[in-house]
Amino acid sequence: MDYEEPQFFRVMQYAATADRDVIDMVSGNPDWEPPEALRDALREYAGLDPAAFQYPASDGLPELREAIADRRGVDPDQVVVTVGTGEANYLAMARAFERDAGDEAILLDPVYPYYPGKVELLGGTQRLVPTARDGGIDLAAIREAMSDRTALVMVNTPNNPTGAVYDPDAVAEVVRLAERHDALVVVDEVYDRFDHSGRFESALAIDSPNRIVTGGFSKSLAITGFRVGYAITPPEHADSLRARHMLVNVTGPAPSQYAVHHALQATEHEYFAASRELLSDRIDAFTDALEAAGAEYTTPDGGFYVLARFDDFPGTMANVERLIDEAGVAGMPGETFGTAREEWIRFALVTPRAREAAERLAAYFE
Amino acid sequence: MDYEEPQFFRVMQYAATADRDVIDMVSGNPDWEPPEALRDALREYAGLDPAAFQYPASDGLPELREAIADRRGVDPDQVVVTVGTGEANYLAMARAFERDAGDEAILLDPVYPYYPGKVELLGGTQRLVPTARDGGIDLAAIREAMSDRTALVMVNTPNNPTGAVYDPDAVAEVVRLAERHDALVVVDEVYDRFDHSGRFESALAIDSPNRIVTGGFSKSLAITGFRVGYAITPPEHADSLRARHMLVNVTGPAPSQYAVHHALQATEHEYFAASRELLSDRIDAFTDALEAAGAEYTTPDGGFYVLARFDDFPGTMANVERLIDEAGVAGMPGETFGTAREEWIRFALVTPRAREAAERLAAYFE
């Protein structure tokens, strides 16, 4: 396994050592408060008997699995609690490849960089398929790309980096195509709580043995460091995911799972609505300033990323470093997300200084 | 990946539903107190800014990596913090196989059941090599088994289940053999704090690019559920371990790593000495009662497992279930640890009722 330092660490390090004030819009780390109940639960956990500090069930604390199943409307047997959504994706993708049903993964371009990394780790080959101009699913392109070699189609909605919320009918059609080609569709819904469009529908509504849904609490509870995610899998694949999870990690972290379970019990709809509203305000402030500056940009239907394009300033690492040094704003080069957004730069709205950042960009490109 | 319900869950479930009082000596979950500083640190963490709840560095909180490096006398660059020792073993074993240097893993019999499971997951083939009658390394047997097909030799000292503490010279010789055959030796030292013999020496003393050491805090700090372990790797393999760790799990749990780091800073030698003494007393009580009953047993040099053998009562799952029902003591069948201890039953001394358990066994076999 070759190790390529992830570009996003490289940008963050560059920004951290810059000789000026830099507004960090690189990572996907929420900067807002987790639910108070999460802090309380962690304090409570710290006082429990030693037995509570030992291995939880490998597939997750039973009460957490039940809470997830309840919220997602599935049977607890279908839920495997994982070390973040990252591990859930890894387990589901591994399942796709181990079935002797092809070695090719269809990834949608622009692509979240961990997906091609995982495909390579698992010995698969990737095939990048373009999305529509607006970031939506291009069914014709997917249909054309699929063959008996296809083992996996990876779908992420709401999407990082485009902010697209996929049409549920299009996702259902991708699953139908996958059934025909004996492929699995893994739908990563980690941004499901950040639907600004009102049009997001979980792929759990699609009844198919070829569909696995992944998700987690890193973004929705603002705790990327806690490492609590999950896969929801049809019975056909549940044993495989459980076995690999156990052999790789034994089990996930009990303190995190305990805290997340209690936070879920106590967290009302209002918490998630407040996060969405906070982001919505930042999106408005950021895109208004970009608009005033005459830049091209996306207004996300979901998630918390905005893509922006500036004239004669492609989304290369060199240009991102120039923006850090000369404008005091750090984003992610579009070239790190496949080929489809090489002209663009991604900005994560995980800072209260979003408007100020856009104004800096406007002044710089004036 | 086929999923076989781990035998140890099966035994624990059987014991939990038994219609009588059962002394649980199945799992490797410590029943004693973690350091008080660990509880304090978790409470402190619960009050930190949201930034502390986000992704730690993928290879671990820098201050934790430094603390581990410091204690182990290595450079922090060689330390990768993992999701328990289980993930550290997985990463190191994967590295052994990915080098195109053979597909065979030499495992010492009796064997910790996760090792063959991981070998299978990674597409390797296992070769069980017997240990000496006392559980020590049989160098001649290993020498004979090694060939150019050998990619990996898995070593665990202090050993689960035999309690053997390997002769450091023998481990060094295994590493020399591995160098000759282009194999890696992974030395799992998770029980390093439970050396009752005074003879344990870490394989870190062996300077070789073919040696990776794994360890963790699950046992030494009595927190199997926290999921904090580590691999210490020569520079040649560091990138591979880091890349796979990142692609599988992104990073480990921040609350756990924070708590472990603070516990390490505050935990004196006395804490570990007290755990050892507690276990030592339990070993004495348990083996004295077995001795009085005329049973054959091992007295562990390290770790917290005792193997016992009773006349005409082999270590099968059926017999272990009989012991639960008829004697009220739950152990692990020797047949689950390879072929070398099929006549034996393993008892984990993670209960204050060790003497009572041995007395129950004595009465049962009288």
Residues on chain B touching A31 (C-beta within 8 angstroms): 50-51
Contact B189, B223 (CB under 8 A): no
Residue B46: band (very low, low, confident or very high) from pLDDT cuts 50, 70, 90: very high
B100 touching A (Cβ < 8 Å)? no
Kindly report, residue by residue over A12-36, the tens digit of the pLDDT.
889 989 999 999 999 899 999 999 9
Calculate ∠ Cα B258-B227-A260, nearest 5°.
75
B31 touching A (Cβ < 8 Å)? yes
Please list, in sequence order, all residues whose beta carbon lies within 8 angstroms of the beta carbon of residue B130, skipping any fewer than 6 positions away: B108, B109, B138, B141, B340
Give the nearest chain B residue to A247 (CA atoms): B118
Give the burial class of A294: count Cβ atoms within 10 A of its Cβ; 0-12 exposed, 13-18 middle, 19 or more buried.
Answer: exposed
Chain B nearest CA to A260, separation (Å): 12
Chain B nearest CA to A146, separation (Å): 25
Amino acid (1-letter code) at residue B215: G
CB contact under 8 A, B239 and A2: yes
Q: Which of B29, B55, B190 is the best residue to mutate to test the A interface, defined by the most A CB atoms within 10 Å of its own CB?
A: B55
Helix (H, G, I), strand (E, B) or coil at A76: helix
Contact A81, A68 (CB under 8 A): yes
Chain A nearest CA to B189, separation (Å): 17
Q: What is the pLDDT of residue A5?
A: 61
DSSP-H helix ranges across A17-162: 36-46, 62-72, 84-98, 114-121, 139-145
CB contact under 8 A, A46 and B29: no
Residues on chain A touching B114 (C-beta within 8 angstroms): 247, 250
Specify the CATH superfamily of domain B7-34+270-365: Aspartate Aminotransferase, domain 1 (3.90.1150.10)
What does the alpha-carbon distance between residue B199 and residue B186 come to, in Å, rounded to a whole number?
Answer: 20
CB contact under 8 A, B1 and A121: no
Q: Which of B289, B23, B224 is nearest to B11 (CA)?
A: B23
Kindly report, residue by residue over B53-90, the tens digit of the pLDDT.
999 999 999 999 999 999 999 999 999 999 999 999 99
Q: Which of B34, B55, B243 lies nearest to residue A224, judging by beta carbons?
A: B55
Helix (H, G, I), strand (E, B) or coil at A156: strand
Residue A8: band (very low, low, confident or very high) from pLDDT cuts 50, 70, 90: confident
What does the alpha-carbon distance between residue A295 and residue A331 come to, in Å, rounded to a whole number?
Answer: 15
Residues on chain A touching B253 (C-beta within 8 angstroms): 83, 225-227, 252-253, 255-256
CB contact under 8 A, A29 and B51: yes
Question: Strand order in A345-348's β-sheet?
Answer: A296-297, A305-309, A345-348, A332-333
Residue A185: is its pLDDT beyond 80?
yes
Kindly report, residue by residue over A256-267, the tens digit of the pLDDT.
999 999 999 998
Residue A294: band (very low, low, confident or very high) from pLDDT cuts 50, 70, 90: confident
Give the burial class of A291: count Cβ atoms within 10 A of its Cβ; 0-12 exposed, 13-18 middle, 19 or more buried.
Answer: middle
Residue A313: band (very low, low, confident or very high) from pLDDT cuts 50, 70, 90: very high
Q: Which of A34, A86, A253 lies nearest to residue B253, judging by beta carbons?
A: A253
Please list, in sequence order, all residues whose beta carbon lies within 8 angstroms of the beta carbon of residue A60, skipping any fewer than 6 positions away: A68, A79, A80, A81, A230, A251, A252, A257
Chain B nearest CA to A1, separation (Å): 5
Count of other CB atoms within 10 angstroms of residue A212: 30
What does the alpha-carbon distance between residue B196 and residue B237 come to, in Å, rounded to a whole number?
Answer: 32
Terminal Cα distance for chain B, rounded = 45
Residue B337: band (very low, low, confident or very high) from pLDDT cuts 50, 70, 90: very high
All structural domains of chain A with their residue ranges: 7-34+270-365, 54-266
- Interface subset of A 118-177, CB within 8 angstroms of B: 118, 121
- Interface subset of A 193-232, CB within 8 angstroms of B: 222-227
Kindly report, residue by residue over A243-253, the tens digit of the pLDDT.
999 999 999 99
Average of per-residue pLDDT values in chain B: 95
Mean pLDDT, rounded, for A337-347: 94
Q: State what percent of residues in chain B have pLDDT above 90.
A: 92
Q: What is the pLDDT of residue B2?
A: 54
In whole angstroms, how large is the CA radius of gyration of chain A?
20
Residue A99: is its pLDDT beyond 60?
yes
- Interface subset of B 52-91, CB within 8 angstroms of A: 52-56, 58, 83-84, 86-87, 90
Residue A38: is its pLDDT beyond 80?
yes
Q: What is the pLDDT of residue B13?
A: 87
Give the burial class of A344: count Cβ atoms within 10 A of its Cβ; 0-12 exposed, 13-18 middle, 19 or more buried.
Answer: buried
Q: Is the pLDDT higher at B1 or at A338?
A: A338
Kindly report, residue by residue over B167-220, the tens digit of the pLDDT.
999 999 999 999 999 999 999 999 999 999 999 999 999 999 999 999 999 999
**Tokens encoding B120:** 């299978």
Average of per-residue pLDDT values in chain A: 95
Mean pLDDT, rounded, for A59-71: 97
Terminal Cα distance for chain A, rounded = 45
B45 touching A (Cβ < 8 Å)? yes
Kindly report, residue by residue over B112-148, the tens digit of the pLDDT.
999 999 999 999 999 999 999 899 999 999 999 999 9
CA B284, chain centre distance (Å): 22
Residues on chain B touching A95 (C-beta within 8 angstroms): 1
Q: Which of B7, B8, B61 is nearest to B265 (CA)?
A: B61
CB contact under 8 A, B121 and A55: no
* The CATH number fitting domain A54-266, selected from 3.30.450.40, 3.40.50.1820, 3.40.640.10, 3.40.50.970: 3.40.640.10
